[in-house]
């Protein structure tokens, strides 16, 4: 699964945030075999996005049994 943009995260509903929170790779994992500089850039960018996902999702109440069932 590809990381969303910051704009996408800002507009996302709770279900989309939950999917990203649960299924996205940890920041930087998509560039694990790249050169160190490339890896660092990707990790830094993805960490910002994941932090925003986490903050927004938690502000909306995080996981409930219902949202967990909805996203799988």
Q: What does the pLDDT profile of the chain (72 residues) look like in tens digits?
A: 899 999 999 999 999 999 999 999 999 999 999 999 999 999 999 999 999 999 999 999 999 999 999 998
The tokens for 18 are 């939950």
SS (H, E, C) 24-64: CCCCCHHHCCCCHHHHHHHHHHHHHHHHHHHHHHHHCCCCC
- Quote the crossing angle between the two packed helices 36-59 and 14-23, to the nearest 10°: 140
- Are residues 17 and 57 in contact, defined by beta-carbon separation less than 8 angstroms? yes
Query: Using the 8-state DSSP alphabet, how is residue 65 labeled?
Result: H
State if pTM tops 0.85.
yes
């Amino acid at each position: 699964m590809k990381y969303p943009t910051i704009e996408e995260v800002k507009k996302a509903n709770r279900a989309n945030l939950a999917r990203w929170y649960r299924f996205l790779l940890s920041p930087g994992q998509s560039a694990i075999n790249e050169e160190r500089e490339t890896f660092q850039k990707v990790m830094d960018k993805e960490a910002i996005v994941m932090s925003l996902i986490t903050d927004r999702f938690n502000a909306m109440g995080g996981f409930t049994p219902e949202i967990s069932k909805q996203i799988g």
